[in-house]
Copies of this chain bind each other. A is one copy, B any other.
Amino acid sequence: MAEVKNSETRITLIGSGTIGLSLAALHLAHLTRPEQLCIYDTRSDIREYVHFTLPQYLPPRQHGLAKDIRIASTLESAVENATIIQEQGPESLSFKSSLWPEVEKLAPGDALFWSSTSGIPASAQAVNMKDPSRLLVVHPYNPPHIMPLLELVPSSQTDQRVIDRTLAFWRARGRSPVVIKKEYTGFVANRLAFALLRESIHLVNAGLVTVEELDRIVETSMGPRWAVSGPFKSYHAGGGKDGLEGFFRNIGGTVQRCWDDSGKVNVGDEWEKNVFQQTREIYGDVDVDWRDRTTKKVLEAVDNEKSLT
């Protein structure tokens, strides 16, 4: 099945939190008319809220579009003509597993069903669906209007054509979708980040560095390195002519010693008080606009150098 043309795409977002509005901004950048985008949310002030909040995610020349997107007042009117239904409602299995059978009843037969969940697998969300092959997880990295990654996590029942159409959709928008081959707690990106976070907490807790110093270490070493080439490529380059194998031959002993005594802190342990407090005192309210603007420049710098090769 060929993907419908961009001017015929009709996307419905279910849920209008931070992720929902950021996705709205991303979609608006690629749709022909703002009316092709619909938001459905049960909050009573949804129209005022979207008109007021969405412009914060949009470039100035698009601010006006916020008032032209469609706000649906019922699930039926939200999905009945949609080609894509993208859900970022509450992270609750009961919400999602009740939602999809309803959507399935009301939406066109070939509409794509995407969940932005960071933790509830498509197989669990689809338990009450007649046709679970239509659903997959499309997990964005926050905020999706800036970050290129989308983790596509199908269940074992998801139809390959649904996966292919989803891949084609995101690739056509210049994003970076990756299909995760198994449903797995936390998928891939968060698992990687949480592994580094755990060791970060351990090292701060052990008194080696402060929260601020740890962040600065990451910002001035592996952050910029990994923005350019991921861990395997980096260590492959670091291993000389024998690549990654040479790297492990040279310093595998140190790597293993670090792994052996890596920190096993847990959520709720004693570190929380100290680490939460330090973080609050140093950062207060983070300037997210600055972060997003700067992240965009970083991504543009890499893209630009890629295009020059």
Which A residues fall within an 8 A CB radius of B? 91, 118-119, 141-142, 147-149, 151, 176, 178, 180-182, 184-186, 188-200, 203-204, 206-209, 211-233, 235-238, 243-245, 248, 251-259, 261-262, 266-268, 272, 275-276, 279-280, 283, 286-288, 290-291, 293-295, 297-302, 304-306, 309
Verify B217–A230 contact, CB threshold 8 A. Answer: yes
Q: Are B216 and A178 in contact (CB under 8 A)?
A: yes
Taking the closest CB of chain B, its distance from the CB of A28, in whole angstroms, is: 21
Check B228–A294 contact: CB distance below 8 A.
Answer: yes
Specify which chain B residues have a CB less than 8 angstroms from the CB of A237 in the assembled complex.
283, 286, 288, 291
Q: Given the complex, which residues of B lie within 8 Å of A204, measured CB to CB?
A: 232
In the complex the two chains form, is A230's CB within 8 Å of B251's CB?
no
A304–B298 alpha-carbon span in the complex (Å): 11
Do the beta carbons of B256 and A229 come within 8 Å of each other? Answer: no
- Residues from chain B with a CB closer than 8 A to the CB of A288 are 237
Q: Which of B188, B221, B235, B283 contacts A189 (CB 8 A)?
A: B221
Closest chain B CB from A164 CB (angstroms):
16
Q: Which residues of B lie under 8 Å from residue A185 when comparing CB positions?
A: 254, 257-258, 261
The answer to whether A298 touches B221, judged by C-beta atoms less than 8 angstroms apart, is no
Known interface pairs A191-B199, A294-B305; A147-B225 also in contact (CB < 8 Å): yes
Query: What is the bound-complex CA distance between A298 and B178, given in angstroms?
Result: 23
**CB atoms of B229 and A291 under 8 A apart:** yes
**Can you list 8 A-B pairs, Cβ within 8 angstroms, ordered by A?**
A151-B217, A178-B217, A212-B232, A215-B232, A223-B223, A245-B272, A252-B267, A259-B267
In the complex, A96→B25 CA distance in Å?
A: 57
